[in-house]
Amino acid sequence: MMCKLPDYYMPKHFKAHEFLPPWEFDRWGVAGLRYFMDVRVLVTADNIRTFFGAPCTINNWWWKRKANKPECEWRQWSGYRPDRYYESVVLNAGDPVPSMSQHRFGRAVDMLIAGVTATQARDIIMNHQQLFPWIRRIEDDVAWLHFDVCGDHHHGIHLFHP
C-alpha cells in the first residue's frame, strides 16, 4: 500500500546542499530542492536516516569547501547531477548518448551510513522493503548505498549492477 506523498517536502535530517552540487546550490539555494529533487527521494532519505538512527552523508562539499579542502575530497555528485556533469564526464569519455542516470532527474541518491557498510544497508533495506515504499532500485556491488525511485512500484525493489 502506497502512502500519500506531499507536493513539497523539506527534509528533517538533511540540508539542501547535501542533495545539490555547489553550482546549483549557490544559484538556487534551498529552492533547488523543489526545482531539482523528486519528493520521494527527500522523504526516503529522511526515512533511511530515521530507520538506521545514524548520521548519513550524501554530499559533503559544503563543509569541505568551508574547511578549504581540495575539491578532490568533496562528495558533490551524490544527489542531483545536472546536464553539465554528464557533458563533461560522460560525453568527453566518447559516449554520444546523454546519460539516463536517475541522478540526472533528481530521482537517485548515493548515501553513506555511519557504522553500516553499503552491503549491510542494502541487505537491511531489502529485508524491510515495506518501510521504504518509494525505493524502486538499489545498486549492488558498490561502496555506497545507491537508491532510486524510478520504476514500477508493484514489484518491490530491484537490485542492479553498475
Taking 70 as the threshold, does the pLDDT of residue 74 lie above it?
yes
Q: Which amino acid is at 132?
A: F
Q: Which cell numbers in the block locate residue 2?
A: 502506497
Q: How far apart are the C-alpha atoms of 43 and 142, rounded to whole Å?
A: 23
Strand, coil or helix: what is 14?
A: coil
Taking 50 as the threshold, does the pLDDT of residue 153 lie above it?
yes
Phi then psi for residue 29, to 5 deg, are: 60, -145
Domains and CATH numbers, the chain: 16-90+99-160 (3.30.1380)
- Structure confidence at residue 147 (pLDDT): 97
- Structure confidence at residue 151 (pLDDT): 77
To the nearest whole number, what is the mean pLDDT of the chain?
A: 89
Q: What is the mean pLDDT of residues 42-56?
A: 98
pLDDT band at 1 (very low <50, low <70, confident <90, very high): very low
pLDDT in tens, 86-102: 776 655 555 555 577 89
Phi then psi for residue 131, to 5 deg, are: -85, -10
pLDDT in tens, 50-61: 999 999 999 999
Q: How far apart are the C-alpha atoms of 64 and 21, rounded to whole Å?
A: 13
